[in-house]
Chain A
Amino acid sequence: MGQREVIAEQYLQRLLTRRQILKAGAAAPLSAAFLAACGGATTSPSPSPAASSAPSAAASAAGSPSPAKQDWSGVTIQLWSGGTTGPPAEKAAADWEAATGGKAVITVVPFAERALKFAGLISSQDSTVDGLYISGDFAGRFGDRLYEDLDAMNVDTSDFVPAILPILSSDGALRGLPQHSEMEIFIYNKTMFEAAGLDPDSPPDSWDALYAVADKLHDGNRYGCAVPWTIGYGPGAYYLCFLNSIPDARLLSDDRTQLLFDKDAGLQAFKTIEAGFKAQFFDPNIDPTVDDYGTGKMYNAGQTASQINFAELWGYAVGGDPANFPSTLKPEEVGATILPGVTAGTSGSINGFEGFGLNKYGKQKEATLSFLQYMSGPEYQKKLNLTKVLPSSRTSVLNDPEVKASYAVGEVLAKQGGYNLDRYAAPYDWTPPFSASFAKLYRGEIAAEQAHEETVKGVQDIIVQYLSS
């Protein structure tokens, strides 16, 4: 490269700050002045560098043994929540307010708007919001661009369900505290399993063993196993339950720049799914667009011998919400265990963890962390588990005798949480190739080998496209 090219390249690569860009636009200050005149506000709410970077103040709070006992009188924190996390967060806020004198305002941002709103937060480095909804998807997508590093705040995470920590982490740092530990498990009908010659209290731990009795579980009026979102809808799809159950067959590398399911183990997962279709354990006639709630209703109506679904739906099956989830089953007929594996003794599932992280641009980090610690702490987690269908994010609570007595599936969750539950959130959308090839596999148009090959190639192309951008 000649000197001129080097200079040109340096010019092209020269970094521009936002301030420089704003200065360059003559219209922007005029606009700001005009709008300020209309609104009366003149101060910029942008955080100072100190506010947006150092978590020093919060770190001291994190180390305190009982955040609920701190005095936050006169402090109001703003949190943006998801739909499911909203009501429990409001209850936790009431407790926290009573204990600390602070005020936590929970605003539910609906699912469809969430990406839009969060993108706005990053763009504007908005400091008016202190706590933010987080899930594996959001942690993976927004990571350190939005969420504060909680590891730097010495948060004690030893009691959380193990799978939660890597999933709510990104770039090697924990980005949020879990409000609950929702995850997919295997929910089955004990009566139907017993009639099929299976031990109702100890069902098989591999898919092949279940396929072997598929003809007894499946008949004209009921399916062997119902699964939400059989095709499409990417991260919710069940193929991850298979891919995640094979050791060393992770979908993507931690930095999301490498595809890892292109070897034999990945192919084995595809073949296992295909075998399930062939055995009619997974019935292609099931509406593949049915969501988790729809699948739960099918199970409750006795239309399927088993389902892969979230623990929440186990709760509905044993009578958690008879108005919206009427059931023909008796609670004692409802069995739950960890998901079978591609090979016996393994398991894998997908998470539905949700929680809250700290907005890295927020101002009230200390108080917000206090609230988040209360919400994910043992006291409230036990309360949550005893009063709601949502499972606790703490192993100790899931194994607590009092919780176990009213929430039998807690132990299953604690065990399932020891396996891979990653949904592989990435700053790019890797799901379309999966959706396309699985739709064809599902319809019997292609075999597992071709589905695997097409998926690998499609995802590789997406990663290359992302890296080259």
Chain B
Amino acid sequence: MTAPASSLGSLPGRMAGRLDRLSDRKFALLAFAPGGLLVALVVVPPILAVLVMSFLRIELLKDDDIFFVGLRNYARLTADPNFVAAVPRTILFAAGAALMTVPLALVTALILNRPMRASAFLGVAILLPWAVAPVVTGLYWKFIFQSQFGLATGLANIFGFANGPVLWLAEPDTAIVVAMVASAWRTVPLMAVLLLAALKTIPESLYRAARMDGSSDWQAFRYVTLPSIRNTLLVVSILSLILMLQTFDVLFTLTEGGPGQATTVIIYYIYKSTIGTLSFGYSSALAVFLFVVIALASSLLLILRLRDRSSGAAEDDAAVAVGGPVRAAVIVPPPTPPTEVIRYEDGPRRRPWRVPAWVKRLAFGGGLALLLLWILGPIVWIAITSIQPEGAVTVRPPALTLDLRIDRYFELLSRPEWQGSIVVSLVVTVAVTLGALVLGALAAYPLARLTLPGKRTLLTVLIFTQMVPAIVMAIPVMLMFRAVGLKDTVAGLVIVNVAYWLPLVIWLLRNVLEDVPRSLEFAARIDGCSRLGTLFRVLVPAAAPGFAAVAILLLIGTWNEFLFAVMLSDRNAVTVTRLIGFLDSVSGPEGRPPFTMIAAAGIVAITPCLVLVAMFHRRLVAGLTQGFVKG
């Protein structure tokens, strides 16, 4: 490899030389500084503000008086019947949604793990729900469970489960189940990718051995697959619980915490307390409580990961010895020795009953069809709705016609506000992605490559910043940005998004960079490449799949961002996700716009993300598993 010092990119040679002469610690500090400073200035103050406010009495709907109340806000938690009622509801919601998510994710991963002709299509399809913005997800499911003419209502009537309207979202029992379904729908793809990564680490030799021992498919699954992915399943379960505890946007558009308080989980109660009554002190105490719960769950996750890593060292060695593609996919906990198979061998030999091949194919086909229906059904239905006459989809059961109305799309896209918002969303999304990648790479490099004191603590702190409920930080962030004149500006949206993405990006990129062989870096340095040159000219290209995955994650996440978009923009920096809210609202004396128009808007809002997923799903899957699971 040759990388002469004279070709050090845009960095002047003298400056690069100075950087190279710095000690590891100083270089690490310098590289981490831009990103770290941004996080310290934009993310940390609101978090500290939340902590401080939890000890203050702030009731802005009552008065301007603010005073120190010690732990009284925390004491109030146990005396607040709404909060006390929200706790079991939250457990029910999170556990129920996680219980839906994990098995579905496992089934999805098992299907995706089978070699088949349609695997590319499936790979795209599985990720689509994840690409749909949470606020749009809520909108989709609200439409599907509309009491009079929703698709679910129509199907319930067709199959004889109901006769007339079904009050899915007006009855507490069904509303919370619908909320779980909607949340699970959006979470399953991510969890499935993690499980898929784990499945790919199971050596084929184990299955061959099992087959030679006469095990059936079920026995192979029971005694080889499950033990091998046991830890990942646990990780996925806890991660699902954590994500469900933080689910807000879906509820915001789907149930608004109702009916009554039936879906007012803790995070939604925090929203009500923060925004509804402006009880900032108390809502901060609520947020700290939720943060502690999430932090405990996350700590459990970290412990599991550390345990996996320590036991994974031997596996890594084995993988290196084996060589080949196995290493590339070593992402998840190493396969546990299938002790049960051994037990099976020790037992009396019995010829297992084998399911006929045609039954297997039929079951697989049926399962696949159901899976696709679950994954794609809501998106396809909304797409169909968007091009049907209003009367065709607002009757029970729907009376679809061939009278397709694609003119709605032209109408939407011809509206100046939509054109403007699409430009704003594009600019913000691209700028955030570039900014977060550059700053993230600079900060991740020393964390991945250099031996530094307190590295693990720093990483833990970074990831813990992601656990404070964003809703309670929304107003402190808005106050900060308003104070410096960045409210209602594209720059403001870019800065806040970069800052809030950075901790996760640093974490992911550090894992990505760790995977690049050190020999490459050494070779570049020996050839005279500077530290920064090595990072951007050697390591980044070598880790391109990982960077691409993180980039897509950023693109989709930023495009779909809603909370800061609401709080920081009024008129000049309105993003597309906000326009959905504009449309799904009474908008003049004519009342609410037609459902079909809202559906068209729902499709327009997700199209860029769908395109990204369709184009880059392979890199996304590979990168996500690399970053998330390994990290």
Q: Are A232 and B480 in contact (CB under 8 A)?
A: no
Q: Given A43, A120, A291, which contacts B567 in the complex, CB threshold below 8 Å? A: A120
Contacts A113-B566, A113-B578 given; indicate if A232 touches B41 (C-beta within 8 A): no
* B484 touching A39, Cβ below 8 Å: yes
Kindly report which residue of chain A lies nearest to residue B282, judged by CB atoms: A469
Query: Do B260 and A117 touch across chains, with their CB atoms under 8 A apart?
Result: no
List residues of chain A with CB within 8 A of the CB of B49. Answer: 25
Q: From known contacts A35-B481, A123-B479, infer whether A324 and B590 are also in contact, taking CB-CB under 8 Å.
A: yes
Contact of A44 with B483 in the complex, beta carbons under 8 Å: yes
* A88 nearest CB neighbor, chain B only: B589
Asked if A116 is an interface residue, CB under 8 A from chain B, the answer is: yes
For A231, what are the chain B residues with a Cβ–Cβ distance below 8 Å?
A: 170, 259
Q: In residues 369-391 of chain A, which contact B (Cβ within 8 Å)?
A: 388-390
Contact B491 A288 (CB under 8 A): no
Q: Which of A419-461 contact B (CB under 8 A)?
A: 427-429, 431-432, 435-436, 439, 461
Closest chain-A Cβ to B354's Cβ sits at a distance in Å of 51
Asked if B587 lies at the interface with its beta carbon under 8 angstroms from chain A, I say yes
A288 to B582, CA, bound (A): 25
Please tell me if the beta carbons of B480 and A31 are within 8 angstroms of each other in the complex.
yes
Contact A110 B585 (CB under 8 A): yes
Are B148 and A290 in touch, CB under 8 angstroms?
yes
Q: A393 → chain B, closest Cβ, in Å? A: 14
Q: How far is the CA of A145 from the CA of B278 in the complex (A)?
A: 11
Beta-carbon contacts under 8 Å, A1-48 to B: 11-18, 21, 24-25, 27-28, 30-32, 34-36, 38-45
A44 to B45, CA, bound (A): 19
CA A35 to CA B495, docked complex, whole Å: 9
Given known A-B contacts A14-B67, A41-B484, A45-B485, A427 and B589 have beta carbons under 8 A apart: no
Contact B475 A432 (CB under 8 A): no
Binds B, one of A79-87, A197-205, A398-406, A408-416: A79-87
Interface residues on A, range: 35 or more
Contacts of A429 in B (CB 8 A): 272, 276
Give the distance in Å from the alpha carbon of A285 to the alpha carbon of B164 in the complex: 9
Query: Quick one: given A15-B66, A432-B260, are A293 and B591 in contact (CB under 8 Å)?
Result: yes
- Which of A30, A44, A105 contacts B41, CB < 8 Å? A30
Tell me the bound Cα distance from A17 to B63 in angstroms: 12
Q: Bound state CA distance, A18 and B64, in angstroms?
A: 9
**In the complex, are the beta carbons of A112 and B585 less than 8 A apart?**
yes
The reply to whether B44 and A38 form a contact with Cβ atoms under 8 Å apart is no
Are B479 and A124 interface neighbours, CB within 8 A? yes
Task: Determine the residue in chain A with the shortest Cβ distance to B171.
Answer: A439
Is B261 on the interface with A (CB-CB < 8 A)? yes
Contacts of A321 in B (CB 8 A): 590
B86 to chain A, nearest CB (A): 12
Does B70 lie within 8 Å of A287, measured CB to CB? no
Residue ID in chain B nearest A35 by CB atoms: B484
Q: Give chain A residues whose Cβ lies under 8 Å from the Cβ of B147.
A: 287, 289-290
B464 within 8 A of A: no
CB of B346 within 8 Å of the partner chain: no
Given contacts A35-B42, A321-B590, A427-B61, contact A42 B480 (CB under 8 A): no
Encode contact with A along B568-591: 1 for CB under 8 Å, 0 otherwise.
001100000010011011111111
Residue-wise interface mask of B (46-88) relative to A, using a CB-CB cutoff of 8 A (1 in contact, 0 not): 0011001000100111100111111000001001111000000
Instruction: Point out the residues of chain B lying under 8 angstroms from A290, CB to CB.
Output: 147-148
Q: Assess whether B70 is in contact with A12, with CB atoms less than 8 Å apart.
A: yes
Q: Establish whether residues A17 and B45, one from each chain, have CB atoms under 8 Å apart when the complex forms.
A: no
Residue of B whose beta carbon sits closest to that of A43 = B485
A38 touching B279 by the CB < 8 A rule? Answer: no
**CB < 8 Å neighbour of A86 from B41, B588, B592:** B588
Residue on A nearest B483 in the bound complex, by CB: A32
- Complex Cα distance, B594 from A110, in Å, reads 16
Would you call B275 and A124 a contact (CB within 8 A)? Answer: no
Query: How many angstroms between the C-alpha atoms of A285 and B381 in the bound complex?
Result: 28
Inter-subunit contact A17/B585 (CB<8 Å): no
| Cα–Cα distance between A374 and B274 once the two chains are bound (Å) | 36
User: Would you give the 0/1 interface string for A213-244, flagging 1 where the beta carbon is closer than 8 Å to chain B?
Assistant: 00000000000000000011100000000000
Interface centre among A16, A87, A293 (most CB of B within 10 A): A16
B275 touches A84 (CB 8 A): no
Whole-angstrom CA separation of A21 from B566 in the bound complex: 26
Partner of B594, one of A11, A36, A324: A324
Contacts A35-B495, A39-B491 given: A116-B589 contact, CB under 8 Å?
no
Min CB distance A8 to B, Å, is 10
CA distance A326 to B28 in the complex (A): 70
Does B588 contact A39, Cβ atoms closer than 8 Å? no
CB <8 Å contact, A287 and B275: no
Q: Which residue of A lies closest to B43 (CB)?
A: A31
In the complex, are the beta carbons of B45 and A83 less than 8 A apart? no
How far, in Å, is A367 (CB) from chain B's closest CB? 19
Once the chains bind, are B489 and A39 in contact (CB under 8 Å)?
Answer: yes
Contact B67 A15 (CB under 8 A): yes
Report how far A84 CA is from B180 CA in the complex, Å: 33
Judging by beta carbons under 8 Å apart, are B68 and A145 in contact?
Answer: no
* Interface flag for B314 (CB, 8 Å): no
* Of A45, A289, A293, A294, the contact of B169 (CB 8 Å cutoff): A289
Chain B residues within an 8 Å CB radius of A39? 484-486, 489, 491-492
Residues of B within 8 A of A145 (CB): 60-61, 278
Q: Is the CB of B588 within 8 A of A289?
A: no
Interface string of B239-263 (1 = CB under 8 A from A): 0000000000000110010111100
Judge whether B310 is part of the interface by a CB distance below 8 angstroms. no
- A285-328 contacts to B, CB under 8 A, are 285, 287-291, 293-294, 312, 321, 324
Closest Cβ of chain A: how far from B561's Cβ, in Å?
14
**B167 close to chain A: CB less than 8 A:** yes
Assess whether A34 is in contact with B165, with CB atoms less than 8 Å apart.
Answer: no
User: B475 — which chain A residues lie within 8 A by C-beta?
Assistant: 119-120, 123-124
Instruction: Identify the interface centre among A112, A290, A389, A436: most chain B CB within 10 Å of its CB.
Output: A112
Chain A residue numbers with a CB within 8 Å of B591 are 293, 312, 324
| Contact partners of B482 in chain A: CB under 8 A | 45, 124, 126
Given A145-B61, A289-B147, does the pair A41, B486 have CB atoms closer than 8 Å? Answer: yes
- Contact check, B68 vs A12: say whether CB atoms are below 8 A apart: yes
B167–A288 touching, CB < 8 Å: yes
Q: Which residues of B contact A45 (CB under 8 A)?
A: 482, 485
Instruction: Collect the chain B residues with CB atoms within 8 Å of residue A141's CB.
Output: 61
Complex: A153 Cα to B129 Cα, angstroms? 54
User: Which B275-291 residues have C-beta < 8 A from chain A?
Assistant: 275-280, 282
- CB-CB under 8 A for A41 and B275, given A14-B68, A28-B45, A31-B480: no
Interchain CB contact under 8 A, A12 and B479: no
Partner of B45, one of A25, A105, A233: A25
In the bound complex, what is the Cα–Cα distance between A88 and B588 (angstroms)? Answer: 8
B183 to chain A, nearest CB (A): 18
B622 within 8 A of A: no
Q: Which of A126-153 contact B (CB under 8 A)?
A: 126, 129, 141-142, 145
Chain A residues closer than 8 Å to B581, beta-carbon distance:
110, 112-113
**B478 contacts chain A at the CB level, 8 A cutoff:** yes
> Are B588 and A122 in contact (CB-based, < 8 A)?
no
Interface assignment of B37: CB less than 8 Å from any CB of chain A: yes
24 A-B contacts (beta carbon < 8 Å) = A11-B68, A17-B66, A18-B66, A27-B48, A31-B45, A35-B483, A35-B495, A39-B491, A82-B586, A83-B587, A83-B588, A84-B586, A86-B587, A108-B587, A112-B581, A117-B570, A123-B278, A129-B570, A145-B60, A233-B259, A289-B147, A321-B590, A324-B590, A427-B277
Using CB atoms and an 8 Å cutoff, list the residues of chain A in contact with chain B. 11-18, 21, 24-25, 27-28, 30-32, 34-36, 38-45, 82-84, 86-88, 105, 107-108, 110-113, 115-117, 119-120, 122-124, 126, 129, 141-142, 145, 231-233, 285, 287-291, 293-294, 312, 321, 324, 388-390, 427-429, 431-432, 435-436, 439, 461, 465, 468-469
Which 6 pairs from chain A and chain B are nearest by CB?
Answer: A41-B485, A287-B165, A35-B484, A110-B585, A39-B486, A83-B586
Q: Given contacts A12-B68, A142-B61, could you give 4 more A-B pairs where the C-beta distance is less than 8 Å? A: A12-B67, A39-B486, A108-B587, A123-B478
